[in-house]
Structure 1
Amino acid sequence: MKPASHLLSALALTALASLGTQAQTVYRIVGPDGKVTFSDKPPVADQGKVTSTGTGARASAANANLPFELKQAVSKYPVSLYTSAKCAPCDAGRNLLNGRGIPFTERTISTAEDTEYLQRLAGEANLPLLTVGGQKVKGFSDAEWNRYLDAAGYPATSLLPSGYKNPAPAPAVAVKPKEDPKPVEKAPVEPPPPPLAPTGPTPTNPAGITF
């Protein structure tokens, strides 16, 4: 019988592999004769001009300066970390990713809307939460996190270019700016009607004649 740790690695690798078939990068290769071919395998150097297209092309373009091995892992299995303030396990998880040189996006949970989103995503509101592709790893465990990252093909040591920085943490749910309430328009006040001309006899009109 296989140890539980080996079984977890095998299951993680199988799940990540199945997701990879859906998020695989497709290479568009233009040969010297102008003929265009498509392949899911990295081309050799003399195969002509190469561009990445299809699913995964956008992620590849965003990480164009990364080494090939790291770029492939990011394209197929992007990593996201969900954290909150004053969370020691969150800090430990962030340090692990930074120390290993894993490109990742960090989403902070600080509002009721963020918590509701996390509940829908993970089925609970405990932090930290790590996502590797479509896999969700709840809570922090350096051994477990490393197994999932290994299964996704991330290098064991940092290959990040000098000066590379991950995006700044952002709320899980974008906050929409509040709009200033529009002032209530008051109906124009009509001036009072002019006073009616007096009727009947007056000192200046003893006969009470009106026209």
Structure 2
Amino acid sequence: MKHAAYIRAGAALAAVTMGSLLCGLAAAQGVYRIVGPDGKVTFSDQPPPAAQAKPVAGASGGSTGAAPAGGNAALPFELRRVAGQFPVTLYTGKDCSPCNSGRNLLNSRGIPYVERTVTTPEDAAALTRLAGEPTVPVLTIGSQQIKGYSDVQWGQYLDAAGYPKQSQLPANYRRPQPEPLVAVQSAVPAAATQAAPPQASQGPATTSRPAEIPVQPPSGIRF
């Protein structure tokens, strides 16, 4: 009876641990530094209409299903599944020993992760919005934020998420290069080139219409 009780208690503890991963603090979203036409700088988690760049912050929240970059398609199935469900993002700074220790831990365990650097005042302001304070390192695992480095704590959360203790990365795996936390995008497109002056009319204008081609719907489909 005691053995069965221990099993039920262990299962409940595992469920609580996994629940904390899913229901933790709100995860970091992509952040853009937008410079308006009047020179005013604003921050947003949505890119400006004219920008084609992708968000640069770590994957989490609504993008927990996104696969990390850097050859994730070549990962073993189970590791790819875990990385897609609980993507890992590491926020680091310059001359940061705890950041180096955290990076070494992730590398030694073969964790596929993306790294975002905090080096400018804009980066620090964005990190404050995301984590509540501009302190590095910050690790996100799915929707869970872990502030500061602790090999024991980081290991426990990685274990709870289902990451293997030993590296399973293929030999040809290449980690994505670290990128700044804040991407700078202009809110207005570049000025259009000046149009050529209109030429004098040579006669009455005629309007040509393209030939109308009847459209045949695919077989079996009716509009």
- TM-score of the superposed pair, with normalisation by structure 1: 0.59
Report the number of matched residues.
Answer: 140
What is the identity, as a one-letter code, of the residue corresponding to 1:13?
A: M
Counterpart selection for 2:137 from 128, 147, 154: 128
Contact 1:70 1:154 in 2 (8 A): yes
Preserved contact between residue 69 and residue 155 of structure 1 (Cα < 8 Å): no
**1:57 positional shift:** 6.5
Deviation at 1:8, TM superposition (A): 9.1
Q: Deviations over 1:50-91 (max 9, x none)?
A: xxxxx8775289622111110111100000000001000000
SS at 1:136 equivalent: strand
SS of the aligned residue for 2:125 comes to: helix
2:64–2:87 Cα contact (<8 Å) kept: no
**Structure 1 Cα separation of the partners of residues 127 and 13 of structure 2:** 24
Corresponding residue for residue 172 of structure 1: 181
What is the aligned counterpart of 2:127 among 102, 107, 118? 118
Contact 1:83 1:128 in 2 (8 A): yes
Q: Which residue of 1 aligns with 2:220?
A: none
What residue number does 2:67 align with? 59
> For the Cα contact (< 8 Å) 1:90–1:128, is it kept in 2?
yes
Distance 1:176 1:152 in 2: 34
Map 1:63-142 onto structure 2 (within 5 A): 63-142=72-151
Counterpart CA distance in 2 for 1:71 and 1:116 is 32
Whole-angstrom CA distance in 1 between matches of 2:147 and 2:97? 15
Pick aligned residue for 1:16 from 18, 21, 28 = 21
Q: Which runs of 4+ in 1 moved over 4 A?
A: 6-11, 55-58
Superposition RMSD in Å: 3.1
Residue 154 of structure 1 deviates from its aligned partner by 0.5
Query: Which range moved further: 105-114 or 9-18?
Result: 9-18
The alpha carbon displacement at 1:173 in A equals: 0.3
State the one-letter code of the partner of 1:134.
S
Asked which structure has the greater CA Rg, the reply is: 1
DSSP-derived class of the 2:67 partner: helix
| Structure 1 pair 8–118 and aligned structure 2 pair: CA distance change class (3 A) | farther
Q: TM-score, with normalisation over the residues of structure 2?
A: 0.56
Aligned to 2:152: 143
The runs of 5 or more residues in structure 1 that have no matched partner are 1-5, 20-54, 183-211
Q: Is the 8 A contact 2:22 2:144 kept in 1?
A: no
Q: Distance in 2 between matches of 1:137 and 1:78?
A: 14
Instruction: Say whether the 8 Å CA contact 2:110–2:167 is kept in structure 1.
Output: yes
8 Å contact kept, 2:114–2:178? yes
Look up the SS of the partner of 1:137 in the other structure. strand
Structure 2 residue ranges without an equivalent (≥5): 1-9, 25-62, 192-223
Q: 1:8 to 1:127 in 2, by over 3 A?
A: farther
Q: Is the 8 A contact 2:68 2:113 kept in 1?
A: no
Match of 1:36 in 2: none
- Structure ranking higher on relative contact order (CA contacts 8 Å, 6+ apart): 2
